[in-house]
Amino acid sequence: MLTAILAIAALAVLFGLMLGYSAIRFHVEGDPIADQIDSLLPQTQCGQCGHPGCRPYAEAVARGDDDINKCAPGGEATILAMADLLGREPVALDAEEKLPAVAFIDPERCIGCTLCLQNCPVDAIVGAAKQLHGILSKECTGCELCLPPCPVNCISMVPVTEEISGWRWPFPSTPLKETAKSQPERAAA
């Protein structure tokens, strides 16, 4: 009994060590630039840049195959962040600058076909077959991917108006990192 437990444990430890060693020995470095660009993108996976998602776009930018101004949902903030990261000149957004908007389903015209559900990259549309669909406006990123598949054109984009209940402090314009960096200098001085 004890032998059996010990033998299996020894076998498991042996293979565990082997796997641990191989994980270190054969460690594959990812593309750190692509990772960093990917973390700047809004992750809506909307495909408006012409790539099948945010990650492929980040990889294309890292390879130098694409410009940094293709991300419509990210807007100017993303372009500036990417220009900062890559040391390139910021360029104007390639897509039309749009006001932040969310999709809205006209309840009188929706036939409950579920076609828009399947196209939503962030699962912001709820509904079932032959039931009226609704949009979770908090989740909607305004990527407009649900517009083309709708057979009755019942989805429209409604601009988001800022209200007291939804107002938030804007993000700090200077990155927090720089403040942290300047502190040791002050201490040294």
Partner 1 sequence: MTEYALILIGTVLVNNFVLVKFLGLCPFMGVSKKLETATGMGLATTFVMTLSSVITWVVNQYLLEPLGIGYLRTIAFILVIASVVQFTETVMHKTSPVLYQLLGIFLPLITTNCAVLGVALLNQQSQHTLVESALYGFGAAIGFSLVLTLFAAIRERVAVADVPEPFQGSAIALITAGLMSLAFMGFAGLVAN
Question: Strands 101-105 and 155-159: what pairing?
Answer: antiparallel
Say whether 150 counts as a known binding-site residue. yes
Structure tokens at 147: 């517009």
Name the segment binding partner 1 (CB under 8 A); options: 21-29, 55-63, 148-156, 170-178.
21-29
HSE-CB for 4 with a 13 A CA cutoff: 1
Query: With CB under 8 A as the contact rule, which of the stretches 8-16, 48-56, 91-99, 144-152 interacts with partner 1?
Result: 8-16
Q: How far is the CB of 49 from partner 1 (least distance, A)?
A: 23
User: Residues 164-172: contacts with CB within 8 Å, 24+ apart?
Assistant: 171/77
| Residue 180 in the binding site for partner 1 (CB under 8 A) | no
Query: Of the listed pieces 2-10, 88-96, 167-175, 180-188, which binds partner 1 according to CB under 8 A?
Result: 2-10
DSSP string, 46-84: --TTSSSSHHHHHHHHHHTSS-S---TTTHHHHHHHHHH
Kindly report the length of the chain.
189
CB of 10 to partner 1, least distance (A): 8
- The secondary element (H helix, E strand) that includes residue 104 is strand 101-105
* 13 binds partner 1, rule: CB under 8 A: no
Residues of this chain that bind partner 1 (CB under 8 A): 3-4, 7-8, 11-12, 15, 18-19, 22-23, 26-28
- The annotation places the binding site for [4Fe-4S] cluster at 46, 49, 54, 71, 110, 113, 116, 120, 140, 143, 146, 150
